[in-house]
Structure 1
Amino acid sequence: MRFTAIRWLLGIRAFTFKLSLQVKLILSFVFVIFIPVVLFSWYTLNEEYASAMKELTETNENVLEVEKINIDNNIELMRWTGQLALSNREMNNYLQIEQFQDTAYVLHIKKDVVNSFQYFLFNNPRIANVRLFTDNIYVNEIWPVILQESRIQDKPWHDEVMKQSGVPWWEIQENVALTGAPSEPSQNEPFMTYLQEFKYADNVTHNGILEISMKLSNFFSQTFDSVQDMNSQLIVVARGGRVFSLKESPVFEQHSAEQLINSVKLTSNTDIETVRFKVNGQSYLAFQSYIPSIDVHLINMVSLAETMEGINHSRVRYIVLILLLVAFLVLLSYSMQAMILRRLKALRESMQQVRSGNFNVEMPPITGTDEVGELAFHYRMLILKINELIQEQAARHAAGKEAELRALKNQIDSHFLFNTLENVKMLAEIEGQYLISDIMTSLGGMMRYSMEWKRDYVMLSDEIQQVQHYVAVMNIRYDGRLDLRLLIAPECIKQESLKMSLQPAVENSIKHGMSRMHSSDGKLVITISAVRRDQACVIEITDSGCGIPEEKLDLVNRMLRMEESAYQEVRQLFVRKDNQESNGIGLRNVDQRLVMSYGAEYGIQIESQEGSYTRIIMTLPYRVMGGRMDIYD
């Protein structure tokens, strides 16, 4: 798969190489505008869709919340009605009588107790029925409130109510009419019924069942309200999967409520959950919530047909606008680039003549202050510069020949100087002037080392030998008061070093150490040590001179890597103050060479304690010449 993608990309690249510049410019111009427009349109459509869905979700969730509030209110009303019915003392006494009562007592119960119940019903029109079904054989039925329990013992919910032991049970009944009820109208629409067992005074023995009924259209008022959104409809799913809703709703024109509910996985979550699904290509959005107190699922079913149709119309509009924009961009790009490429073609023809070797080509009359005009101007200057360089190269070739002759002459002169020093050395040995002979040996070694500069990198041992020669020569001037001590770790003998990097440091130590000598014997001890520290080689040149004052030491360290202009200003201050060339230019040059060769983390650092010592610390990357790490010719 990966190689297929690579071959595909290479094929596209090869195809684009074959296209003309004008086609490439048109395509690039179109894509530069087209891609942002497409991305913006895609983003706008997504935002429009997200905004529509967010508004749709908020609206329908609010509808569901309002219905839940209505349901809670109706539950409280029916519970309160049940408490009122069971808390009536005279009613309880009548239901718990233990013998038949006379007619006067029965009439009293009907007039004073039962009629108050009916008065309560008249003031609460949402309550359809309040019935007390008792199994007490001594109780006379007082229609329509006090009835014998035998009338409901065949109801499917009777046993469930008995199992609750006084806890309310909610049941949706298709018909609450009682068989054999005198002059009771047929009630075929569904009812939500509140059912609760009540007991005798011992709170153990069963006495009867309280039934409170409310029409389902009143209990779920939003669900059965015909004045609502045409694209949404509330659905109630009771036990056993029974579905109750407003069947005339436009949402159910293509699919019934039962078909839609079968596509929704009902949950027991009391919070609102959102489910999106399709039935035969039609998109729906379902907002569901479970109401455990009455054991029903409340679902707000939303048809997305109208919403998706609006989004599709917007998508078509954007596509048409994008196509028109692309066509306009192609025409505009073609007309603009035709003018630009006309001048570029003239430049190309001129460059072809230059490629064939004709540097006296006549430049095309291309003018203008834009990029093409500027390119033509620079091209004209380039041709003139090439002609100048050809002339300079011819002159430089002649000068090179002359320089080779001078270099050969200088080589002959240096050999003559070395031979002369050897003759003086041999003459000093014959005459017994062994000190002069040693001086000539050291001086000859220094001159040969410095003049034979074949490469910039040498072994540390070579640098130390050069320092030894230098100290031997300087001891003639200082009457042997220079004491050179070496502490070189074996692994650092072949350490790569820049040529002529140690002598300036030693020279600096001698110059400043001997100028202000403070030791009792007048000797200056110079110690050179070299150790390996991880991947670095640290070389320290320490002298026992007078040291550097603390306020001056910081400035001297900063001078090593100052900008050239700032360094020259500070150097002049030192010259005027000390009246001497104590500017550290040798150390600065060595530090700059180290930085250019190895990087800014390497170089020179100076430490000192006034009246005690001065130490020059040189840090190099650990590299062994001729070893495994680096091989040098």
Structure 2
Amino acid sequence: MGRAVIRWLLGIRAFAFNLSLQVKLILSFVFVIFIPVVLFSWYTLNEESAKAMKELMKNNENVLEVEEINIENNIELMGWTAQLALSNREMNKYLQIEQTQDAAQVLHIKKDVVNNFQYFLFNNPRIANVRLFTDNRYVNEIWPVILQETRIQDRPWHEEAMKQNGLPWWAIQENIVLTGLPSEPSPNEPFMTYLQEFKYPDNATHNGVLEISMKLSNFFSGTFSSVQDANSQLIVVARSGEVFSLKGSPVFEQHSAEELVKSVKLTSNSGIETVQFKVNGQSYLAFQSYIPSIDVHLVNMVSLADTMKDINHSKVRYLVLISLLAAFLILLSYSMQAIILRRLKALRESMQQVRSGNFNVELPPITGTDEVGELGYHYRKLMLKINELIQEQAARQAAGKEAELRALKNQIDSHFLFNTLENVKMLAEIEGQYLISEIMTSLGGMMRYSMEWNRDHVMLSDEIQQVQDYVSIMNIRYDGRLDLRLSIAPECLKQESLKMSLQPTVENAIKHGMRRMHSSDGNLVIHISASLRDQACVIEITDSGCGIPEETLGLLNRMLRMEESAYQDARQLIVRNDYQDSNGIGLRNVDQRLVMSYGVEYGIRIESQEGSYTRVIMTLPYRVMGGRADIYD
């Protein structure tokens, strides 16, 4: 699993690397803004949905609570009516008679007792009927208040009412019609019925049953009201499971009240309980409340179709807005980045032409002080420098060809010169001019060493020999006043050194040392020593000349590593003090050659004491030139 995730991440990374810079910038720009917008919209939509659901639940709970209050009021009304009926003395006296009544007595009861009874009990229009069913065979029926109990003994609720032992029993009756008289209620209209057994004064003998009825539409006024929310409808569920509600409610257009109630688990818990469910994909929200006094469940059934439709419309609206925002952000990002990347594109096209070998490509006008403008500026400078280097290389190659031709010519001339020097030497020996012969030998050796330049590195012993030949020739000029002394450690004789690195140093020592001679005999002693120090070969060339002033010595050491422009300015100061290097090679050239070959930690430095000596110290890495290969220690 972990490897699969890693491979997936690497695949995404490879895909991202292959995208163009503009696409990456657009995606990053969109993600940075678009994702927070989506998250915020999602959060806002959820909050609005939760707020709408919360408000919906609160409103429908209020509807259920209001209906419960109405029901409690009707229960109290019917209970109060029952108390009035059972506490009427004249009515109780008539119900408890023990002999048959004649017609006059019956008319008196109907006129004075029953009519007054009806007046007091039927003063509330919500009460449909108040009936007294008695088993006293001496009581004559006076419609519609006093009836014989035999009329209701076959009713299912009669037995349940008798079991309550004088307590009320509530029942919903579809049909309470006892006769076919027009004064009777419609047989199809349900009623909420209050039933209570009443007894003789001894409270032990059964006398009859009191019935108080109220139309279900009046008892559950909110349930059967036509002025309701189109998305909610109250439902009454009797103890038998029978369902009563407003049949024409829009909530029941797709599913009947019975079908919806089956999806709700009715409980006898106190308080309002809420359940959300679906029937054939249609969402509903049910609020149920149990009324124990009448053993009825009251359910407020809410259709969520319109609510979900509104939520879906909000989702679509947010989706459209987010899509438009994303399109706007992409267009804005594309436009802004096109301005930036247009210059980078010009740079890329120019680089592609350079890569193909066209170094004379016309550079695009890339302006601005931002990073792209700075990149374009440096790229232009780079191309100018490349073209300049190409031109220099071409000139160098041309000069190299010319130097090869000149070297070939010099080689021809050098053979002629060497032969001539050899002839002069032989004539001098024949004539007995041995000094001239020695001079010719030294001059020939010097010329052959300097003109036959087939490698840059030689052994230190070769450089020493070159210096000895040079000093021998210079002694002719200075009448033998040059004294060359050597102190070379044996292990340094095969030390690798740059060709023609000692002779310019010795030449510089002779020139300045003989010009300002201070010794009593007029001789100049030049001492060359070489020794090993910390894996380095240190060569010292010391002359017994007049030395260099301290301020000039410091300037000379700094000039060895100066930039060219600074060096030329310092050189003018040295010229005025008559310490210039006149042969064009000088100590600076020797030091630069050593640095290029071995590194900045190697080279030369100058020590001097005015009126005493001047010493040039040359430091080289210890490298022994062997017969098979160079040996590096």
Name the TM-score class by shorter chain: 0.5 to 0.7
Deviation at 1:76, TM superposition (A): 0.5
Over the residues paired in the alignment, what is the CA RMSD in angstroms?
Answer: 4.0
Q: Is this contact kept in 2: 1:133–1:147, CA < 8 A? A: yes
Deviation at 1:310, TM superposition (A): 2.4
Deviations 1:92-123 (A, max 9, x none): 22222333345454444322321122113442
Instruction: Provide the residue aligned with 1:273 in structure 2.
Output: 273
Deviation at 1:140, TM superposition (A): 2.1
Aligned pair count reads: 401
**What is the distance in 2 between the residues matched to 1:391 and 1:334?**
53
**What is the distance in 2 between the residues matched to 1:278 and 1:144?**
48
Instruction: Provide the residue aligned with 2:487 in structure 1.
Output: none
**What is the distance in 1 between the residues matched to 2:328 and 2:185?**
77
Instruction: Provide the residue aligned with 1:291 in structure 2.
Output: 291
- SS of 1:143's equivalent? coil
Instruction: Provide the residue aligned with 2:317 in structure 1.
Output: 317
| 2:37 aligned with 1:37 | yes
Q: 1:25 to 1:183 in 2, by over 3 A?
A: closer
Instruction: Provide the residue aligned with 2:169 in structure 1.
Output: 169
- SS of 2:240's equivalent? helix
| AA of the residue aligned to 1:282 | Q
Deviation at 1:279, TM superposition (A): 1.6
Q: Is this contact kept in 1: 2:84–2:121, CA < 8 A? A: no
| AA of the residue aligned to 1:118 | Q
| AA of the residue aligned to 2:233 | Q
**What is the distance in 2 between the residues matched to 1:88 and 1:402?**
139
Instruction: Provide the residue aligned with 1:326 in structure 2.
Output: 326
Deviations 1:559-603 (A, max 9, x none): xxxxxxxxxxxxxxxxxxxxxxxxxxxxxxxxxxxxxxxxxxxxx
Deviations 1:329-353 (A, max 9, x none): 2222222222223444677799999
Q: Is this contact kept in 1: 2:81–2:121, CA < 8 A? A: no
Q: 1:229 to 1:183 in 2, by over 3 A?
A: closer
Deviation at 1:282, TM superposition (A): 1.7
Q: Determine what percentage of the aligned residue pairs are the same residue.
A: 81
Instruction: Provide the residue aligned with 2:86 in structure 1.
Output: 86
**What is the distance in 1 between the residues matched to 2:280 and 2:334?**
49
Deviation at 1:243, TM superposition (A): 0.8
Deviation at 1:10, TM superposition (A): 2.5
| 2:20 aligned with 1:24 | no
**What is the distance in 2 between the residues matched to 1:59 and 1:322?**
32
- SS of 1:157's equivalent? helix
**What is the distance in 2 between the residues matched to 1:91 and 1:23?**
98
TM-score, length of structure 1 as denominator length: 0.56
Deviation at 1:249, TM superposition (A): 1.4
Pairing of 1:581-600 with structure 2 (within 5 A): none
Instruction: Provide the residue aligned with 1:126 in structure 2.
Output: 126
Q: 1:351 to 1:306 in 2, by over 3 A?
A: same
The 10-residue stretch of structure 1 (27-36 or 103-112) with the greater mean CA deviation from structure 2: 103-112
Pairing of 1:242-391 with structure 2 (within 5 A): 242-344=242-344, 367-373=367-373
| 2:151 aligned with 1:151 | yes
**What is the distance in 2 between the residues matched to 1:269 and 1:243?**
19
Q: 1:276 to 1:374 in 2, by over 3 A?
A: farther
**What is the distance in 1 between the residues matched to 2:117 and 2:47?**
58
Q: Is this contact kept in 2: 1:121–1:129, CA < 8 A? A: no
Q: Is this contact kept in 1: 2:174–2:191, CA < 8 A? A: yes
- SS of 1:320's equivalent? helix
Q: 1:381 to 1:114 in 2, by over 3 A?
A: farther
| AA of the residue aligned to 2:221 | S
Deviations 1:405-431 (A, max 9, x none): xxxxxxxxxxxxxxxxxxxxxxxxxxx
**What is the distance in 2 between the residues matched to 1:292 and 1:285?**
23
Instruction: Provide the residue aligned with 1:12 in structure 2.
Output: 12
Instruction: Provide the residue aligned with 1:135 in structure 2.
Output: 135
| AA of the residue aligned to 2:80 | W
TM-score, length of structure 2 as denominator length: 0.56
**What is the distance in 2 between the residues matched to 1:157 and 1:391?**
125
| AA of the residue aligned to 1:207 | N
Instruction: Provide the residue aligned with 2:100 in structure 1.
Output: 100
Deviation at 1:321, TM superposition (A): 2.7
Unmatched runs of 5 consecutive residues or more in structure 1: 356-361, 384-389, 404-633
The 10-residue stretch of structure 1 (27-36 or 5-14) with the greater mean CA deviation from structure 2: 5-14
- SS of 2:308's equivalent? helix
**What is the distance in 2 between the residues matched to 1:202 and 1:182?**
39
Instruction: Provide the residue aligned with 2:49 in structure 1.
Output: 49
The 10-residue stretch of structure 1 (196-205 or 73-82) with the greater mean CA deviation from structure 2: 196-205
Deviations 1:355-410 (A, max 9, x none): 9xxxxxx9997543445446778999999xxxxxx999979x9664599xxxxxxx
Instruction: Provide the residue aligned with 2:576 in structure 1.
Output: none
- SS of 2:212's equivalent? strand
| AA of the residue aligned to 2:95 | L
**What is the distance in 2 between the residues matched to 1:399 and 1:156?**
121
Q: 1:378 to 1:81 in 2, by over 3 A?
A: farther
